Amino acid sequence: MAHLPANDGNDLTETADARPELLIVDDDPLITEAFAYVLETDFRIIATDTRGSAIRSVRALATPPPLALVDLGLPPTPHQPDEGFALITELLAHAPDIRIIVLSGQSELAHARHARALGALEYLPKPVDPERLRSLLLSALEVEASSPLASEAADGPALRGDSDAIRALRSQIDQLADAPFPVLIEGESGTGKELVAQDLHRLSSRREAPYLTLNCAAISPSLIESLLFGHTKGSFTGATGSRAGYFEEAGNGTLFLDEIGELPLELQPKLLRVLENGEFHRVGETRPRYSRARVITATNRDLKQAIRAGGFRADLYHRLSVFALQMPALRFLAEDRLRLMRHFRQHVAAQTGAAPFELDPEAKARWLAYDFPGNVRELRNITIRLQTKFGGCQVGVADLEAELDVEPRPLASATGTPPTPLEPDDSDPTERAMRELQASEGFELDATLRRWEVAYIEAALRIAQGRMSQAARLLGVNRSTLYSRMSALGIDRGPAGDGV
């Protein structure tokens, strides 16, 4: 999320309207108008009808809206949930603190669970009582939008946990905190990368200097250069005054660039120059300026794959990753899953005034066995829902199971014949191959390899909800290679694919 630096005396006049903004994304204008009519007393409504228009609306705001009401069935696939799932992911990438309520006519339990795993706070099937919806939205506002692993203690570590992986990460943070060199933080969405950046700054000699954050995914590409480097009056349409950029405002402090993989390719050489010698120019200015800020970046993308695909500069990657830290996914953090649940449970219980819920032994075992594909963001939202529904009560495994994304993702094959899965005792693929060759008279190596390749590509596309770059990362190939193989195999990319 962008925190705008000072603009040399050209601040916009703030509106006196104190109502929080609510983004409504639904392709049915009657539903949008009805909700706007019912909710406009409490909220300022921003209505859109597609994933793209929703993201453009969020980017156009100085501060992202705190709430979003999202329909899963959006164009171009209104009868499938893929666009809605992709929108949840993109909204949270642009605005990590946004609270998303999914309201959908696609009321399958699997869709509800998956939407929550992606980061939605709640899921309501259509039709919904307007007063219930209003109450849920107002309640969502009462839950403080804190960073996933944030500590209440201002002088304590932002990163919480006592697992071996977190202890090792804290040790690395201690070692690197006072180094002047860039740090690249890599890891899945929802693992708490920004908290590592906060600790790197807090533990450094720069702690009294500014700490500024810019989410590269949250800003329109046409505005990022001006935000980073500043601009002069008249340098472009709408530049009514001069403005300092983040590199100037950071001074001797720290500049954290989140989602660095989304930085436009044409701006990457300018960032590289700053990293190499501190030099930059305001937009519309020829006089060089110099930055002394330390740069920390984060990404959930595989930047090496992006380099091979031509979307990221290799020289910039090597400059950013002088030091690299890897965020562990929650599924590797063992007992930390319980520690984090207790932390969020206490926090929400204090806000709601209800006694904390408890997990019975079977539910506790299920909690520790669950993978949490949405990482800490998913864990936090599950805890919020459990505390809201079962405050002061004991939660059984059936109640917990209803909150988890446990539905298997069926795989389909374009050949019509899905490959037979390996048997549980097939530890040696050569032994299996020998058995199949001996048992089959019509074995064809090319056809078998083709079926497996189709199955893995379609599996990756399903996991990635049609996002080509993400599917390519899962498969360990670049995007152009994936396109070529899909074309050769006759795999239809489908309407859900967005090319990114």
Residue with the two structure tokens 């000072």: 6
| Average pLDDT score, the chain | 83
Residue with the two structure tokens 């499938």: 80
Answer yes or no: same fold for 21-142 and 164-328.
yes
pLDDT of residue 11: 45
Residue with the two structure tokens 């819920």: 357
Residue with the two structure tokens 């204090």: 350
Yes or no: is domain 334-401 CATH 3.40.50.880?
A: no
If one counts every other C-beta atom within 10 angstroms of the C-beta of residue 354, the result is: 15
What pLDDT, in 10s, does the model give residues 283-310? 988 899 999 999 999 999 889 988 988 8
Distance CA 107, CA 431 (A): 45
pLDDT of residue 298: 96
Residue-range domain boundaries for the chain:
21-142, 164-328, 334-401, 429-489
pLDDT of residue 368: 93
pLDDT beneath 50: ranges in the chain: 1-15, 145-154, 408-427, 495-499
**Closest Cα to residue 202, out of 193, 211, 194?**
211
pTM: 0.68
Domain 429-489: homologous superfamily in CATH: Homeodomain-like (1.10.10.60)
Q: Which CATH number is correct for 164-328, 3.40.50.300, 3.30.70.270, 3.40.190.10, 1.10.3210.10?
A: 3.40.50.300
pLDDT of residue 253: 96
What pLDDT, in 10s, does the model give residues 409-432? 433 333 333 334 433 444 456 666
Beta-carbon-side half-sphere exposure of residue 272 (alpha carbons within 13 Å):
14
pLDDT of residue 132: 87
Distance CA 475, CA 247 (A): 37
Query: Could you name the CATH architecture of 21-142?
Result: 3-Layer(aba) Sandwich (3.40)
